[in-house]
Amino acid sequence: MHKIISFAIILIFSQSTLASLQKCVDDAGMFHYYTHVMPPECQNKTTVEMNEHGVVIRTHAAENKPDIVETAKNKIDAQQQFEEKRRDAVLLNTYTSEEEIDWVLERNVEPIELAISGIEMRLNIAKNQLRILKQQADEAEKSGNPTLASIQQDMIPVKRNVTQLENELIKNHARISSLKEKFAIDRKRFQTLKGQKL
C-alpha cells in the first residue's frame, strides 16, 4: 500500500513539472523547448509557457535590458566631451593670443616651404635632364644611331626621379594645407574660448 501511495505522490509532483513547458524562438528562427533551465539562445527573448497538451498558459515578454548600442554611444559621447575639454585646456594653456597661433603656424610652415623650394630646384634639374635625353633619343632614332637603347635606359631613372619629386611636392603642399586648416580650427576655437571667458 505504501508503494502505491508513494507512486501516486511522485506522479502528482512529476505532473506539475511536466505541466510547465516553455518555448522560445531564437534569432535564427529556431524553436527551443525547455522545462527548467533556459537555453542561452532564449535570453532576452519572449517565451511562451504551455501545459502538457501544448495549450498556451501565459506569455513572458522579453526583458528590456539597456540597449548595448545606446550605452556604447553614450560612452563614446562622454569620451568625446572629455577629449574636447582636454583640447580646450591645452589650447588655452599653450597660446596667449591669436597672433601667437599665427606665429606658430608660420614657424611650422617655413621648413616645409624651404623643402618645397629645394624639391622644385631638383625637379627643374631632373626635368631638364629628361628633356635633353628625349632630344638625344629623338635625334638617335631619326639618324638610326645605335645609342638609342642606351639613351632610353638612361631615361628610366630620370623619369622615376621626376615622378618621385613631383609626389614629394604634392605631399608637402598637402602638409601645408593640413597645417593651415588645423591652425585655423585652433584659432577659431581659441577666439570662442576667449570670448566665453570675457
Q: Specify the pLDDT at position 54.
A: 74
Does residue 122 lie in a domain region? yes
Query: Which of 39, 12, 16, 11 lies closest to 26, judged by CA?
Result: 39
Q: Specify the pLDDT at position 7.
A: 64
Q: Specify the pLDDT at position 147.
A: 84
The Cα angle at residue 56 between residues 54 and 62, in degrees rounded to 5? 125
Residue 59 sits at φ, ψ, to 5 deg, of -120, 135
- pLDDT exceeds 90 at position 197: no
Give the residue-averaged pLDDT of 63-68. Answer: 62
| CATH code for the domain in which residue 185 is found | 1.20.58
Q: Specify the pLDDT at position 66.
A: 59
Report pLDDT digits (tens) over 151-163: 889 999 999 999 9
Shared-domain flag, residues 130 and 187? yes
Does residue 109 lie in a domain region? yes
Does residue 106 lie in a domain region? yes
Cβ contact 56:49 at 8 Å = yes
What is the number of domains present in the chain?
A: 2
Report pLDDT digits (tens) over 88-108: 999 999 999 999 999 999 999
77-81, 93-97, 194-198: least confident range: 194-198
Shared-domain flag, residues 54 and 105? no
Does residue 125 lie in a domain region? yes
Q: What percent of the chain has pLDDT over 90?
A: 50
Does residue 70 lie in a domain region? no
- Order across the sheet with 31-34: list the strands: 31-34, 21-25, 47-50, 56-60
Fill in the amino acid letter for 76: I
Identify the domain containing residue 40 by its residue range. Answer: 2-60
Does residue 25 lie in a domain region? yes
